């Protein structure tokens, strides 16, 4: 190879001399030597225990973009650490990376969301190199977008120990980003600059398939690769059936043929997989759950932490390639499927908001594991779990992959989001939600939610004390709206995003993530010694109030024995109470804007 490259380089030099063009020499030599490097790298599978740095990854893609008119490298926005998040696009024959033919499907690959799990970082560089070096016909039908490293801040915090149980690479990044956020919990709340940059990438490409690359910890077993797919029950009938019956089985078969047989992600019901595993319910806070809101089929590749890094990279490469080749073979089907799903969601009248596992429904699958044993701990003297690698076993285990909806909502014609909630409006806008501002101040009859009872987590989770709605009422009433408040019609291809963020009972609604907490707080109060006289007068003049007051005391002995609670009951049922406490500030509206 070296002698071949040298001989060609000499010919390039002769050509440059004859043309009297030193610039031509440099240009041609750079192109050729780069192609020689690519050719040499495709001879052997990945064998290193080292993962590239952020700088090295970007340099690799920059070099590829410089040598191919089909490759583009762009800065798409900032990360929380201040460094750019890049996107590399393979779009064959295009002048603009985002000018995508309607006859091509789109694959988006996200790497390094957890930089301590860098298999996809290195695998995606290999993929880009090999596809370009071979001028793969795959690129005739599939556009591929690669985020080299999403969590740039975490990638810059390189270490060799915080992933305590992981087998290589020699150095890797940190799970948290520059704000110590887990970015795979941030796709709805989008506290990070990273998430806002991701929105621009995702919607610019509008992918048919999305892959997020990871490394898994947990149980020990024989597989190098496991997989999470978009949970089929919550993907909708059209998309869900295709994932469950067509694409996922094909990927399992393809990976078996490539020497990396897979199993579903090992999410154990009990202490070990022997008791069975269940589907991972990736709600919209997660990358693939977010992608599903836009009818994008999502996969999370999960290599096993204890397998050598080289195997993990190679299996990730093979998984991505298997997905891309499937897309090439089923290009028209995937394009038509997403088109149908996008169209269907515009007229969908009911949406599922939350889910629970159906423990009565399962199927039996073979599982290649290691015998689980309980032995005495050398550290504590107590009992500890050990997977005995000298005793591999293939057993049948139950696989629970059915979820049932626990909350279903019938959607209104429109939602109204007051402009006071600018953070919500910003996120809706960035996710391509069409909104129309009210042209004037007006009184509107709406359906309003009152959140009568909810709880907030006592411990912070990803920067929030998450809310859980326990009791909610829906009432029809007049509210004052203002010029500039946003009306959102529920007739859009992004309807799932609209509904699942704005309906407070949704698993990852904006309410769950504390966006509307200030609306839940009472602002006005009373002085006991003054309001005592007011309350007495109210009970004398309002017989209905007095009757309800007596009934409330009879139903609640604690209230009957508490003067302060009785006085407060009268206050909140009187005209003096502000009335809007706990009113959810997004309204459902069945009217229409006049033209």
* Residue 3 pLDDT: 32
Residues facing 454 on adjacent strands? 469
Query: What confidence tens digit (pLDDT) does each residue in 126-158 have?
Result: 999 999 999 999 999 999 999 999 999 999 999
- pTM for this entry: 0.91
Contact 40, 2 (CB under 8 A): no
Peptide linkage before 230 cis (omega within 30 of 0): no
On whether both 127 and 246 belong to a single domain, the answer is yes
φ, ψ for residue 280, nearest 5 deg: -85, 125
241 and 113 share one domain: yes
389 located within any domain: no
For residue 413, give the nearest of 375, 445, 461 by alpha carbon: 445
Same domain, 227 and 81: yes
- Angle (nearest 5°) at CA 314 between 141 and 199: 55
Q: Which residue, among 155, 176, 169, has the nearest Cα to 56 in the 3D structure?
A: 155
Q: Is the dihedral of CA 203, 208, 212, 217 positive or negative?
A: positive
80, 153 contact by CB (below 8 A): yes
In a domain, 33, yes or no: no
Cα gap 330→294, rounded to integer Å: 20
Return the CATH number at 118: 3.40.630.10
pLDDT of res. 571: 96
Quick check: helix, strand or coil at residue 112? coil
CB 187 within 8 A of CB 285: yes
Length, in residues, of the chain? 595
Looking at the structure, do residues 481 and 552 belong to the same domain, yes or no?
no
The conformational region for residue 304 under phi > 0 = left, psi -120 to 50 = alpha, else beta, is beta
Phi, psi of 356 (to 5 degrees): -140, 150
Q: How far is CA 512 from the centre of its chain?
A: 16
360-385 CB burial, b ≥16 within 10 A, e <16:
eebeeeebebbebeeeeeeeeeeeee
Pairing of strands 277-278, 263-264: unpaired
515 and 543 both lie in a single domain: no
Distance between CA atoms of residues 72 and 89, nearest Å: 5
The enclosing H or E element of 85 equals strand 84-90
Do 424 and 291 fall into the same domain? Answer: no
Non-local CB neighbours of 303 within 8 Å, separated by 6+ positions? 117, 119, 214, 215, 216, 224, 225, 226, 311, 312, 315, 316
248: nearest Cα among 218, 272, 269, 279:
279
Structural domain of residue 83, as residue ranges?
42-335
| pLDDT of amino acid 116 | 98
Domain boundary among 335, 355, 371: 335
Please tell me the distance from the alpha carbon of residue 511 to that of residue 529, in angstroms, as a whole number: 37
d(CA 129, CA 384): 45
Q: Are 86 and 74 in contact (CB under 8 A)?
A: yes
Are 41 and 132 spatial neighbours (Cβ–Cβ below 8 Å)? no
The total of structural domains in the chain comes to 3
Alpha carbon 2 to chain centroid, angstroms: 45
- Tell me whether residue 14 is in a domain: no
Residue 88 lies in a domain: yes
**238 occurs within a structural domain:** yes
What is the C-alpha separation between 526 and 474, in angstroms, rounded?
A: 28
- List, run by run, the mean pLDDT of 10-residue segments along the chain (595 residues): 36 38 40 38 71 98 97 98 98 96 98 98 98 97 98 97 96 98 98 98 98 96 98 94 98 98 97 97 97 98 98 98 98 98 98 96 98 97 97 98 97 98 98 98 98 97 98 97 98 98 98 98 96 97 97 96 97 95 97 85
Strand order in the sheet with 467-481: 436-437, 486-489, 414-417, 587-589, 442-456, 467-481
Please give the mean pLDDT across all residues of the chain.
Answer: 93
CA gap 154, 53 in Å, rounded: 11
Residue 246, in any domain of the structure: yes
Question: CA nearest 119: which of 208, 226, 11, 267?
Answer: 226
Q: What is the CA radius of gyration of the chain?
A: 29
Estimate the crossing angle of helix 528-541 against helix 563-572, to 10 degrees.
60
| Same domain, yes or no: 475 and 498 | yes
Is residue 49 within 8 Å of residue 309, measured between CB atoms? Answer: yes
Of 404, 408, 289, 292, which Cα lies nearest the Cα of 350?
408
On whether residue 341 sits in a domain, the answer given is no
| Contact call for residues 102 and 335 (beta carbons, < 8 A) | yes
Same domain, 322 and 420: no
- Specify the DSSP class assigned to residue 330: T
**CA gap 478, 115 in Å, rounded:** 50
CA–CA gap between residue 89 and residue 86 (Å, rounded): 10
Q: Which pLDDT score, from 0 to 100, does residue 45 have?
A: 74
∠ Cα 145 146 151 (to 5°):
135
Angle, CA of 543, 544 and 548, to the nearest 5°: 115
Let me know whether 223 and 320 are in one domain: yes
Final residue before a domain boundary, out of 266, 301, 335: 335
- What is the tens place of the pLDDT at every residue in 281-319? 999 999 999 999 999 999 999 999 999 999 999 999 999
Same domain, 119 and 159: yes
| HEC letters along 424-451 | HHHHHHHCCCCCEECCCCEEEEEEEEEE
Phi and psi based region of residue 582 (left: phi greater than 0; alpha: psi -120 to 50; beta: remaining): left
Token look-up 């989770």 returns 461
Q: Is there a contact between 201 and 343 (Cβ–Cβ < 8 Å)?
A: no
Among 335, 366, 394, the domain boundary falls at 335
124 in the same domain as 96? yes
Does 361 reside within a domain?
no
CA proximity to 127, closest of 76, 169, 71? 71
The answer to whether residues 299 and 328 belong to one domain is yes
């Amino acid at each position: 190879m070296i002698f071949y490259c040298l001989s060609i380089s000499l010919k390039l030099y002769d050509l440059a001399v004859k043309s009297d063009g030193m610039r031509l020499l440099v240009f041609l030599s750079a192109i050729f030597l780069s192609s020689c490097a690519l050719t040499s790298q495709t001879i052997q599978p990945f064998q290193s225990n080292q993962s590239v740095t952020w700088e090295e990854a970007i340099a690799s893609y920059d070099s590829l973009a410089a040598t191919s008119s089909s490759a583009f490298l762009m800065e798409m926005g900032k990360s929380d650490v201040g460094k750019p998040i890049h996107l590399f696009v393979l779009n064959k024959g295009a002048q603009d990376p985002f000018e995508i033919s309607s006859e091509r499907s789109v694959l988006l690959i996200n790497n390094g969301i957890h930089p301590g799990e860098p298999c996809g970082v290195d695998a995606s560089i290999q993929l880009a190199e090999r596809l370009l070096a071979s001028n793969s016909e795959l690129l005739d039908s599939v556009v591929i977008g690669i985020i080299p490293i999403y969590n740039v801040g975490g990638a810059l915090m390189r270490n060799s120990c915080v992933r305590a149980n992981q087998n290589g690479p020699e150095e890797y990044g940190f799970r948290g980003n520059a704000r110590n956020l887990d970015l795979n919990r941030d796709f709805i709340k989008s506290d990070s600059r990273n998430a806002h940059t991701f929105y621009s990438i995702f919607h610019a490409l509008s992918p048919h398939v999305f892959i997020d690359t990871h490394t898994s910890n947990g149980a020990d077993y024989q597989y190098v690769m496991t997989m999470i797919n978009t949970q089929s029950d919550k993907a909708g009938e059209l998309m869900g059936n295709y994932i469950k019956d067509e694409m996922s089985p094909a990927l399992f078969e393809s990976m078996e043929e490539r020497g990396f047989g897979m199993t579903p992600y090992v999410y154990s019901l009990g202490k070990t997989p022997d008791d069975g595993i269940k589907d991972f319910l990736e709600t919209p806070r997660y990358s693939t759950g977010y992608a599903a809101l836009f009818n994008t089929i999502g996969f999370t590749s999960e290599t096993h932490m204890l397998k050598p890094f080289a195997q993990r990279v190679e299996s990730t490469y093979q998984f991505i390639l298997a997905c891309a080749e499937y897309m090439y073979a089923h290009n028209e089907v995937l394009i038509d499927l997403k088109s149908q799903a996008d169209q269907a969601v515009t007229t969908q009248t009911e949406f599922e908001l939350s889910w629970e596992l159906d423990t009565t429904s399962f199927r039996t699958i073979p599982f290649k594991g290691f015998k689980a044993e309980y032995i005495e701990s050398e550290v504590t003297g107590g009992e500890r779990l050990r997977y005995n690698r000298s005793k591999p076993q293939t057993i049948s285990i139950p696989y629970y992959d059915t979820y049932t909806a626990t909350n279903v909502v019938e959607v209104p014609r429109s939602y109204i989001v007051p402009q006071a909630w600018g953070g919500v409006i910003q996120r809706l806008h960035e996710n391509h939600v069409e909104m129309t501002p009210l042209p004037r101040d007006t009184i509107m009859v709406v359906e309003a939610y009152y959140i009568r009872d909810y709880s907030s987590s006592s411990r912070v989770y990803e920067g929030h004390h998450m809310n859980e709605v326990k009791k909610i009422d829906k009432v029809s009433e007049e509210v004052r709206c203002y010029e500039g408040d946003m009306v959102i019609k529920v007739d859009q291809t992004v309807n799932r995003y609209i509904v699942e963020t704005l309906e407070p009972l949704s698993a990852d609604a904006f309410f769950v993530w504390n966006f509307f907490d200030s609306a839940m707080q009472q602002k006005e109060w009373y002085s006991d010694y003054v309001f005592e006289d007011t309350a007495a007068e109210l009970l004398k003049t309002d017989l209905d109030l007095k009757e309800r007051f007596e009934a409330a005391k009879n139903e609640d002995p604690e209230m009957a024995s508490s003067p302060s609670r009785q006085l407060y009951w009268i206050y909140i049922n009187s005209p003096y109470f502000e009335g809007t406490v706990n009113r959810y500030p997004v309204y459902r509206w069945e009217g229409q804007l006049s033209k």
